[in-house]
Amino acid sequence: MPDYKTPLRDIRFVHDELLGYPAHYQSFPEFKEVTPDLVQSILEQGAKFAEEVLAPLNRVGDREGCTWSEGGVVKTPTGFKEAYRQYVGSGWPGLAAPLAHGGQGLPESLALTLLEMIGSANWAWGMYPVLATGAKRTLDTHGTDEQKKVYLPKLVSGQWTGTMCLTEPHCGSDVGLLRTKAEPQADGGYRITGTKIFISSGEHDMAENIVHIVLARLPDAPAGTKGISLFIVPKFVPDAKGEVGRRNGVSCGSIEHKMGIHGSATCVLNFDGATGFLLGPPNKGLNCMFTFMNSARLGTAMQGLAHAEVAFQHATRYARERLQMRALSGAKAPDKPADPIIVHPDVRRMLLTAKAFAEGARMLIYFCAQQVDIADRGADEAQRTKAESLLALLTPIAKGFLTEVGVESAYLGMQVFGGHGYIAEWGMEQNLRDARISTMYEGTTGIQALDLLGRKVLGSQGQALMSFTKIVHKFCKANENNAAIKSLVEPLGLLNKEWGDLTMKVGMGALQNRDEAGAAAVDYLMYSGYVTLAYFWAAAADVAAAKLAAGTTEEGFYKAKLQTARFYFARIVPRTRSHAAAIQSGGGNLMEMNEADFLIGS
């Protein structure tokens, strides 16, 4: 399998040239020491760990998978535990954690950049520490001082990991149906009883304790989502000194046999009167859990980027070496028996699609990461509110859209290899299998689409949408006379206006029939994703054109940015036409058929 190489140059382009990360960090008093040299050193060390330690284990994890034995013991693939020890020993788990809990106090956006490297090198391994990040954030936001004192130092150090326990056998995203019970005890704790499924990293041999963040119902809880509370349920209950104590009543009943990410243990967890501790207010558990879920959704968006990057890297290397047929326009390598397949237009189409999605995803996610920094640490309420509004809009787009195009990119990468892509030794079929889950967990694409259109856009009377379309509008106005990118700015401005018009039409239809929003939702999400990336590609083209005009020693790099931007607008942006047409077709074509008629002729 080809080696993974961290795209450090492109990361620096997005960080420093497109999004102005150095000035962004310097705008926070607590990040004054986060200089470009420090960031570069961290990125280089992260890249080294990803390339040299994690990437070689990627195929090992896929081939071996995790193993479950009687008693609920789960063993991770060869090398996973040792890699985790190196990860902990280097201090990576505490990179963005608060100093007060033993962390390094660095920006959350920097930790997300590290996640790209880890996920691209070995997504299955990366799921163990990334779930702990969500647990840390949830505890830090909603925990009591005593809970923070007990759990955060161990989670920050990496000695303990964490999970998110929502799904049950009878309910998936509709958590209002959950049945797991939480019975109050005389000592102030709770007895947690129930079964959770699809719990990533729910049991493993990599850390000494696992802190489960669990949704459950109190005895007097109201029905539905208004009656859900959140609990800390550790695998081992901490003793009086905060160290690993007695074994708790939570066990792994089995692990799922999955299509991909075999190195990640996806567990059925049985809570048999397990000791739990209330996290946040009673019956407000879903509100608190959204802290974890939003972190996880942005992390899953990164999976779309990771698989697109892997597909692009591996397929490009293969296409430059694989000899097959002659170019239609004449031999390009006359000294060889055939031309490398990268000369063929259709291969170029596939490679450029994966490149445009990978690099566009990087721009979008790193922009979102900046908003996380601002929402957490902004100097004033207005700044924080604006960042939160942008995140509310862009998180479902990032999760839903980027995972869909990540799967498409993985498919195209495999296709470039032809028959060899179907063979395990090249790693491309694993990349596709691993990518496929990303569109389902943390809310399917349909769930993300309903969240985007229903809750975020229509629910805010369009205010959330305008938080971003104003940015696009200002960019278009500022560059309307910029000859270098005029061919991109004009269509972007039209798309930006159409985005608002389509939103208005769907909103008016939904006032008459709420199914209209559901019928439009996925097409609306995909349309939104293509337009969002169009903005970032136009902005990247603006930077590249300015660099070329000023003179640069990296002419090839910046020309490639301009060429990819033009490809994106010419070949990818037209997809918005079919989505716009589908949105405006209404819900009748989906809802008019009688349920029984679906099976006629079967």
pLDDT at 22 exceeding the cut of 70? yes
Q: Among the listed ranges 132-141, 354-363, 398-407, 408-417, which one has the minimum average pLDDT value?
A: 132-141
Report the pLDDT value the prediction gives residue 386, as an integer from 0 to 100: 94
- Asked if pLDDT for residue 4 goes beyond 90, the answer is yes
In the numeric block, the tokens 């689409």 are attached to 449
Q: Which helix or strand (DSSP H or E) is residue 247 part of?
A: strand 244-247
- Cβ contacts of 424 within 8 Å, gap of 6 or more: 430
Q: In the predicted model, is pLDDT for residue 292 greater than 80?
A: no
What DSSP element (H or E) covers 68? strand 67-69
**Tens-digit pLDDT profile for residues 73-91:** 999 999 999 999 999 999 9
State the burial class of residue 599 (Cβ atoms within 10 Å of its Cβ: 0-12, 13-18, 19+). exposed
The confidence score (pLDDT) of residue 291 equals: 78
- 8 Å CB contact between 540 and 557: no
| Dist CA 472 CA 499 (whole Å) | 11
| C-alpha distances in Å from residue 136, one per residue of 43, 64, 119 | 22, 30, 19
- List Cα–Cα distances, 99 to 92, 115, 295, in angstroms: 14, 20, 20
Class of domain 160-282: mainly beta
Tell me: the pLDDT tens digits for 158-190? 999 999 999 999 887 777 889 999 999 999 999
Q: Does residue 117 contact residue 6 with C-beta atoms inside 8 Å?
A: yes
The whole-angstrom distance between residue 91's C-alpha and the CA centroid of its chain comes to 23
Query: Cα–Cα–Cα angle for 403, 129, 114, nearest 5°?
Result: 65
CB 327 within 8 A of CB 341: no
Q: How many percent of the chain have pLDDT more than 70?
A: 99
DSSP 3-state of 209 = strand
Please give the positions annotated as active site: 442
In angstroms, rounded to a whole number, what is the distance separating the alpha carbons of residues 161 and 262?
A: 19
Average pLDDT over residues 418-430: 96
Q: What pLDDT does residue 81 have?
A: 98
Distance from C-alpha of 135 to C-alpha of 114, rounded to nearest angstrom: 18
Least confident of 273-277, 297-301, 512-516: 297-301
Give the mean pLDDT of 380-406.
Answer: 95
- Is-above-0.85 flag for pTM? yes
Q: What is the mean pLDDT of residues 97-114?
A: 95
Q: What is the mean pLDDT of residues 536-552?
A: 98
Mean pLDDT within 1-18: 92
pLDDT above 60: residue 57: yes
pLDDT of residue 65: 98
Measured CA to CA, the distance from residue 268 to residue 481 in angstroms comes to 59
CB of 90 closer than 8 Å to CB of 114: no
Q: What is the pLDDT of residue 2?
A: 56
Domains 8-142 and 160-282 belong to one CATH topology = no
Pick the CATH number of 8-142 from 3.40.50.300, 3.40.366.10, 1.10.260.40, 1.10.540.10: 1.10.540.10
pLDDT score of 294 more than 80: no
Ordered by start, the domain boundaries in the chain are: 8-142, 160-282, 460-586
The pLDDT value recorded for residue 501 is 97
Eight-state DSSP code of residue 587: S
As a whole number of Å, the end-to-end CA separation of the chain is 43
Residue 349: count of CB within 10 angstroms of its CB: 13
